[in-house]
Each structure stands twice: as C-alpha cells, then as structure tokens.
A = this chain, B = another copy of it.
Amino acid sequence: MATFFIRKLERFTKLSGDEKRALDEAVSRTTRQLGPREDFVQEGDKPRHISLIIEGWATRYKVLEDGRRQIIGFLLPGDLCDVRMFILKQMDHSIGTVSRAKIAEVPADTVISLTDTHPRLSRALWWNSLVEEAIQREWIVNLGQRDAFERMAHLFCELFIRLRAVGLTNDTSCQLPLTQVDLGEAMGISTVHVNRTLMDLRGAGLIVLKGKTCTIPDLDALQEAGLFNANYLHLDRDGRHLDTNEP
C-alpha cells in the first residue's frame, strides 16, 4: 500500500521493518478510489486529514477570480499532501486528480503519534516537505527565467526523475497521463504554444510521445536543454547517518 511512499522516504534514510509496517498500517486504514479529474481537496476547506497518493496522478492548483488556472505542482504516487496543513483554518489551494487515482486519508492524530514514536520517520517527513518546497522554488525559477522550450524540458526532467525515484519508469520511458492543457496550465503558456513546443522537443529528438507513454532517449541531453540540475531534489540520501542497521 505504502510501497512508493516508503521507497521515496528511503531516498533519505533507510527505515526499520517496524517503521515500514507502521506506515503501511496507517495508510491502509482508509483509502479512496477516485475517478479522473476529481477534486479531493478544495480551496477554502478546513484541512481534515493528510492524503497520500497511492496510485495515479494529481495536481495542486489555484484558480483566479476570472478563471485563469495555474497548476502549482504534480502529485505522483508516493507523494503526500499537506503533512502539517491541518493547523490552518482553510486550504489556500485545491487538489484534484488527473487520471483515476487511489489515495489514503490519514488522520492528523495518526501522523502525530507515528512521528512521536518513530523519530527517524519524523526526520524523513521533514526531508519530504523540504524537497516539496525545493520543487516549488524550482518552479518559480522555471516560470520566471526559462523560455517555453527550456521550461518544458525541465518539467519532463523533473517528472521523469521523480518517477524513477519511486520505481515508476522502465529504462527510458514512463507513463504520462497529462493533456497539453495540463502542461500549459503548469508551465504558464497557452495550449497552442505547448503543442508547438512539444513539436520542437520532438524535432530535437529530446522526447518521444506516443499515447500516454513518454520516452526520453537521452536524459542528459534533455537536462542540458532544460538547464536542469537535480540537486534540488535532494535524492542522494542526505539522512544516511540515520539509517537503520536492520536489513
């Protein structure tokens, strides 16, 4: 159940069998199956529980009064929404699925008691939110400084590498359930321009899109095109010194 989540946390520090079981149990208690394009957190809501993406993709987004919509981040399997958000009165953004998705809804108390009894887990969750913040910062750089071509290349790098970190790629390809409208709303460019930019990326041999499958023949080249530097994802086991010595 919590496989992807655990895999991700272990990019920071190895967890004990106990910790993994505790996580898995907490996550398996309440799960929900959602259809595509279904919101499960609404701006204005009082945050109730902490959601974990078990399978499928979701987006965080905000909508302006006049209807313009900006995607703020993609939530992939293993991603957690709003670990500490529950101390706020209301959500300042919404979260909705892209594809069909399965999510776990963990009550705040469970998370608190989990981190109280397992300090290493607590650190791993800290790390997790630090990485989320770093991703948001990188999006700001992406939107502010890169042109459409670089921006798109950068996004594909981020998504591919994040998926790879939880084992959802095979060699050079991954599933990509996004439409060009989604891509436009994430990158702050019009749908038409998304299309032309994708053409350019394909023309340059940097990506191959066939149906919902995305292939990246040469990740290094794509990274270069997007001025992408994976540092900000902090995937190099910064919490190594905390590793459990159990197998």
Contacts and interface: CB of A to CB of B under 8 A. Distances in A.
A64 B136 contact: no
Chain A interface extent, by class: 35 or more
B238 A88 contact: yes
A72 B141 contact: yes
Copies of this chain, whole number: 2
Given A70-B144, A232-B92, A87 B137 contact: no
23 contacts: A62-B138, A62-B141, A64-B141, A64-B146, A64-B227, A72-B141, A87-B127, A87-B238, A88-B127, A89-B236, A90-B231, A92-B137, A92-B138, A93-B137, A132-B133, A133-B136, A136-B137, A139-B140, A140-B140, A140-B143, A144-B186, A144-B188, A145-B188
Interface of A: 60, 62, 64-66, 68-70, 72, 84-85, 87-90, 92-93, 123, 126-127, 129-130, 132-134, 136-141, 143-146, 185-188, 227, 229, 231-232, 234, 236, 238-239
